[in-house]
Amino acid sequence: MSDNRSENIIIAVPKGRILEELIPLMKKANILPEKSFFDNKDRRLLFSSNIPWLKIIRVRSFDVATFVAFGGADIGIAGFDVLREFNYPELYIPIDLNIGVCHLSVAQPKNYNKNDNVQLKIATKYPNITNNYYAEKGINVNCIKMNGAMEIAPKLEMADKIVDLVSSGKTLIANDLVEIENILDVTSHLVINRTAFKTRSEKIRDIMIFFREALNEKNS
């Protein structure tokens, strides 16, 4: 990577399931990471690509929006759940990539029975979305911030309900939980740092065009 950060555009991509869906779209967009990017044993986070000025960082999906908002990356691929949770004003969100399709839901035990006058305890990775959702209903809740395994929280009597992403629903079923409310439909979006878009608009617009053409090809 050049010593001059301003010469390069950095795109932050998420690890895991979304990346598996993103790679074919990147190939259609002719954005090809270096070979070591696909080596799970490679512990580096920063990689080059077939475009000399485009570098790729691979980070946790929940961190992509933060990297882009604070200028560590110029562009990123982030789920709408993350964008809503952090709600960074520094982000421009021009393209829905229509990958990583899932939804954010409230789930509770099958045998749930609780006095509605008692404050709800909700285990979630999304305290801001959850508090806002219940506030609109006029309900005050106590959010317990968890980064994973919240499905077990009701069984351990840590929480009454959970708010989490649901894809197939198999994890909920395995832990005797049922969905009761869909809060938010989620797909992954191309997000851009607003300052970078003003100062390096030509290169960033090129990347946007590549992705839009790839989406048109995918949908045709």
**CA-to-CA dists, residue 29 to 13, 123, 197, angstroms:** 15, 39, 19
Residues 95 and 111 in one domain: no
Residue 187: partners with Cβ closer than 8 Å, 6 or more residues away:
79, 80, 96, 97, 98, 99, 100, 101
Is 150 in contact with 196 (CB distance < 8 Å)? no
Q: Under DSSP, is residue 131 helix (H, G, I), strand (E, B) or coil?
A: helix
What's the pLDDT tens digit per position in 102-121?
999 999 999 898 776 678 99
Query: Following DSSP, what letter does each residue of 84-110 receive, concatenated?
Result: HHH--TTEEEEEE---S-EEEEEEEET
pLDDT at 1: 45
Residues 178 and 117 in one domain: yes
pLDDT at 168: 87
Q: Which two tokens stand for residue 172?
A: 């909920």
For the chain, which residues score pLDDT lower than 70? 1-5, 116-117
Residues 153 and 172 in one domain: yes
Residues 74 and 135 in one domain: no
143 - beta bridge partners?
A: 122
Q: Is the dihedral of CA 153, 155, 157, 161 positive or negative?
A: positive
pLDDT at 218: 84
Residues 90 and 191 in one domain: yes
End-to-end CA distance of the chain: 36
Is 81 in contact with 177 (CB distance < 8 Å)? no
**Total domains in the fold of the chain:** 2
C-alpha 81 chain-centroid distance: 6
CA distance 133 to 124: 13
pLDDT at 5: 66
Q: What CATH number does the domain containing 38 carry?
A: 3.40.190.10
Residues 114 and 163 in one domain: yes
C-alpha 98 chain-centroid distance: 12
pLDDT at 117: 66
Of 139, 73, 75, nearest to 106 (Cα)?
Answer: 139
Range of the domain at 131: 102-185
Residues 54 and 132 in one domain: no
Q: Under DSSP, is residue 60 helix (H, G, I), strand (E, B) or coil?
A: coil
**DSSP H or E stretch at residue 211:** helix 201-219
Residues 44 and 91 in one domain: yes
**CA-to-CA dists, residue 94 to 73, 129, 190, 207, 209, angstroms:** 16, 21, 6, 12, 11
Residues 17 and 81 in one domain: yes
Residues 114 and 46 in one domain: no
Residues 116 and 128 in one domain: yes
